[in-house]
Structure 1
């Protein structure tokens, strides 16, 4: 049996905390460890922040810019979190995923977003198209103590 949750929110910085809380609440029935919960929240935070900061860079009306988050829990504790935006897209995903790569001010951004996502999940996939947006798909396998 799969459990699925999908939410859409404005691409505003304050909604990054909302996304973290929603993802954490969604996995709670699986009784994740503190470490697993922290890793999930951190990965979601990075993905949503990237969508908000880079996906909608130059967007005049952030209230119209949307981020979509979908979480799926499958039997066996497989968690898939998808973060999607319809923003500017990434021209070279492979380059963007290199540690320390950033399109922002080097004093302001570390270029470690994808590296953090990758280190806190079991699998990371990024699809993007210029002018159409970016989809980040993160998979994490949880050690199930109690099922849903």
Structure 2
């Protein structure tokens, strides 16, 4: 059904209960696995590399609002920005990835983290906002 809707999938495992908004902007590479209950707000493109594990209830949000100057309505103009998840990464349960973020290859993002800026490859990221906790082995 996802392929019919325009989602580009490699040879991947996807459990039930996913939600895709404008889902034809999603590409998921070979060997990746998407757990239950994830949301792909793909008004902008979402690219997930090969062999990526995504835990349950994650949120990938490509759109947001600029903060408006008007005190009566702060949600200003809508903006869109792509999300990229590098190959070999592991995104823990309930992670939120915000617009414009790239997560480098081989990263681990701890459960419950909110990723607000780019993550350099081969690092463990945790917290709100997510920050690099330590380097991960590359060999």
TM-score (norm 1): 0.24
Q: Larger strand proportion, structure 1 or 2? A: 2
Q: Which structure has more helix as a fraction of its residues? A: 1
Greater relative contact order (CA < 8 Å, ≥ 6 in sequence): 1
Task: Give the alignment's TM-score, normalised by structure 2.
Answer: 0.25
